[in-house]
């Protein structure tokens, strides 16, 4: 068909596409986890249309059908009209100079730069049954095809260092110098985009359409998810690899647990055709993150979103067409909204599953229990309403268990963090807790840190074979004894913490008396009152500088209101291995009394007790040093030892205080 206007001959080509299901109103706003929460929706030029057949005009740039809307264009320039009817039928009309090749024909031609695949397929085939993966995830792999990431190391290094010299064609040609298969071509393009293109917050806020054009992206090296997906598709097509842009909903930046999705789509990603199947990836989320406080983008490469297993990809990506889920069976939008969202770091750090598997959970008798299964021993921590309180987290060989006791009724935010090979904890799960009952008898000490109870981690730190493997110790008389093996060269320190007096910073170690027996350490504990206390355990390698490191704690519970134990005597550094105190165990002695002493002090030459006067101790046949001391006229009493008979220097090992008269 020809149309004459202003003596310029033009041709009109028409492309009719019939969709199996009605399109949504738009492949609309493609903000994502990196978008500013205040950014307004943006529309994708040329792909937006209403069911009333309203037309949108656009200028084609190069070989792409995406470009800027134009109210008026010169007839010598290529023009495209795209329209949809109520049944979802798409009609695209192209007006172009007669002597030029139609862009629509180029788009679906056998030109090597734009062909769908090497078999001559001119259009990417739609996903079908052979592309579908089983749902739920079978735990076999994080990827949708077998990959050895180590084989990509050389290619990744090369691709990340390629620079833009002129245009997109030359960039792709440079990237493909080290790529020898479609998989490697896709990998090279992925690596380059993830390491060179940053998220453009300003363009997203200002709805700057120029930011989505490949030429502008290469110039500024900034865009948003529209631009990421469009650029990736364009580069793949230049490389001769079938690629599609997939719009949809995402659980990205600003997502609230349990929220519903409606209206325009908020994200875009890609599907690539490799080895006879479609695979999914998201270069926007693979490139980095935006700090919500500073609105600054940081490159932080995320391997998880490269050829992600569809059963995992569906957790935070819901496409406009269910076929692009690549799942059997596909998930509904309601299922997407209600399913548990495991963040990418959940899988990056080796997590396998979590229970409950719903984002909103209700407490039972004021308590909620969460368990996580992991591939290997992993450190965890949690925060309830932004604080590490009101919970008991115990590490297990392959996971963790967390019991949470919300302090008030209502809705609470629970975050779970995990630490991988680095020293940084990353958020892996978020729950919304709904509590309709509070058990006032389960108030945990604020100083009860995580984790509770011995585990693989305490064994790694040199503490072995504990006498109490469980994290909670109940005592009826306010006393208990805890022991464990200690690796050679490791020192142990313990302290007791409660929310109310009389335990203070000065006395938190005085309610614990530490004994060394061969390769085991024993902690004798006396509680000052009834209640719940945190018994913290610290370790330090003797030959290394620095402070003691926290390892774990026990929760000590006593309901006996008659309990009122005093502090133990204060021990000094010379209180050595094998020493044992039988009496007096109380660190506070009565005034004006003769107090008996009995201790085991292996290897010492002499021992004495010093008050106002000096009282020698004698060694009996059972190996104990015995004697007595008068507390008259003194405020402090010391036990002293002479370690070498050839010396005259006595060392302090124990200190008692004397009650005022």
At residue 319, the pLDDT reads: 97
Question: Strand, coil or helix: what is 189?
Answer: helix
Q: Where are the alpha helices (DSSP H) in 339-487?
A: 344-348, 456-460
pLDDT digits (tens, 9 = 90+) for 237-257: 999 999 999 999 999 877 888
What are the residue numbers of the active site?
A: 225, 267, 282
pLDDT digits (tens, 9 = 90+) for 80-106: 565 544 444 456 666 666 545 455 544
Residue 129 DSSP code: G
Residues 6+ apart with CB under 8 A from 241: 117, 182, 185, 186, 272, 273, 274
Instruction: Name the percent of the chain in helix, strand, coil, to the closest 5.
Output: 15, 35, 45
Q: Which two tokens stand for residue 129?
A: 């049954």
At residue 430, the pLDDT reads: 94
Q: Which two tokens stand for residue 75?
A: 């007839």
- Half-sphere exposure (CA, 13 Å, Cβ side) for 495? 17
At residue 154, the pLDDT reads: 97
- Identify the residue whose tokens are 């006395």: 507
Identify the CA nearest to 96 among candidates 15, 12, 14.
12
Residue 254 DSSP code: T
* Contact predicate 461/539, CB 8 Å: yes
Taking 50 as the pLDDT cut, the residues of the chain under it are 1-11, 13, 17-75, 84-89, 99, 101, 105-121
At residue 91, the pLDDT reads: 60
Q: Residues 316, 320, 321, CA angle at the centre, nearest 5°?
A: 110
């Amino acid at each position: 068909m020809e149309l004459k206007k202003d003596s310029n001959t033009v041709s009109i080509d028409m492309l009719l596409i019939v969709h199996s299901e009605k399109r949504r109103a738009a492949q609309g706003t493609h903000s994502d986890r990196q978008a500013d929460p205040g950014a307004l929706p943006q529309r994708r030029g040329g792909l937006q249309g209403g069911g009333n057949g309203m037309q949108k005009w656009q200028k084609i740039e190069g070989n792409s059908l995406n470009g800027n809307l134009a109210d008026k264009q010169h007839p010598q320039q290529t023009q495209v009209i795209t329209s949809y009817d109520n049944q979802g039928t798409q009609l695209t009309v192209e007006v172009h100079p007669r002597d030029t090749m139609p862009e629509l024909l180029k788009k679906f031609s056998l030109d090597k730069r734009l062909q769908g695949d090497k078999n001559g397929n001119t259009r990417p085939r739609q996903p079908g049954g052979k592309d579908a993966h089983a749902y739920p995830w079978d735990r076999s792999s994080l990827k949708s095809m077998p990959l050895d990431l180590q084989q990509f190391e050389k290619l990744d290094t090369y691709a990340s260092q390629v620079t833009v010299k002129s245009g997109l064609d030359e960039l792709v040609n440079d990237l493909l110098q080290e790529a020898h298969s479609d998989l490697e071509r896709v990998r090279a393009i992925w690596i380059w985009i993830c390491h060179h293109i940053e998220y453009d917050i300003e363009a997203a806020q200002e709805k700057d359409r120029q930011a989505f054009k490949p030429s502008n992206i290469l110039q500024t090296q900034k865009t948003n998810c529209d631009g990421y997906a469009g650029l990736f598709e364009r580069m793949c097509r230049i490389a001769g690899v079938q690629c599609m842009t997939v719009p949809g909903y995402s659980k990205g930046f600003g997502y609230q647990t349990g929220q519903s999705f409606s209206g325009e789509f908020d994200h875009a990603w890609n599907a690539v055709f490799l080895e006879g199947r479609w695979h999914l990836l998201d270069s926007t989320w693979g490139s980095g993150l935006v700090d919500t406080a500073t609105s600054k983008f940081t490159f932080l490469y995320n391997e998880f979103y490269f050829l992600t297993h569809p059963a995992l990809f569906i957790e935070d990506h819901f496409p406009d067409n269910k076929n692009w889920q690549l799942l059997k069976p596909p998930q509904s939008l309601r299922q997407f909204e209600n399913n548990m969202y495991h963040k990418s770091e959940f899988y990056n750090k080796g997590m396998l599953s979590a229970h409950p598997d719903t984002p909103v959970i209700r407490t039972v008798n004021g308590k909620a229990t969460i368990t996580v299964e992991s591939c290997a021993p992993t450190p965890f921590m949690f925060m309830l309403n932004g604080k590490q309180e009101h919970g008991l987290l115990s590490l297990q060989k392959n996971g963790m268990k967390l019991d949470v006791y919300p302090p008030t009724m209502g809705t609470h935010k629970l975050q779970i963090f995990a630490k991988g090979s680095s020293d940084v904890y990353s958020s892996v799960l978020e729950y919304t807790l709904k509590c309709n009952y509070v058990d006032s008898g389960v108030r945990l000490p604020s100083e009860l840190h995580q984790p509770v109870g011995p585990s693989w981690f305490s064994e790694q730190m040199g503490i072995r074979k504990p006498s109490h493997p469980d994290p909670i110790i109940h005592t009826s008389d306010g006393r208990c004894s805890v022991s464990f093996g200690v690796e050679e060269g490791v020192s142990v320190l313990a302290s007791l913490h409660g929310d109310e007096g009389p335990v203070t910073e000065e006395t938190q170690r005085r309610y614990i008396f530490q004994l060394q027996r061969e390769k085991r350490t024993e902690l004798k504990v006396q509680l000052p009152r009834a209640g719940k206390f945190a018994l913290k355990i610290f370790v330090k390698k003797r030959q290394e500088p620095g402070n003691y490191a926290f390892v774990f704690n026990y929760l000590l519970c006593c309901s006996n209101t008659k309990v009122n134990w005093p502090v133990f005597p204060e021990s000094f550094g010379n209180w050595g291995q094998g020493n044992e105190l039988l009496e007096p165990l109380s660190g506070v002695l009565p005034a004006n009394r003769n107090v008996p002493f009995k201790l085991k002090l292996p290897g010492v030459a002499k021992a004495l007790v010093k008050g106002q006067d000096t009282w020698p101790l004698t060694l009996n046949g059972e190996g104990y040093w015995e004697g007595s001391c008068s507390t008259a006229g003194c405020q402090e009493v010391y036990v002293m030892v002479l370690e070498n008979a050839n010396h005259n220097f006595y060392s302090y090992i124990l200190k008692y205080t004397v009650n005022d008269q």
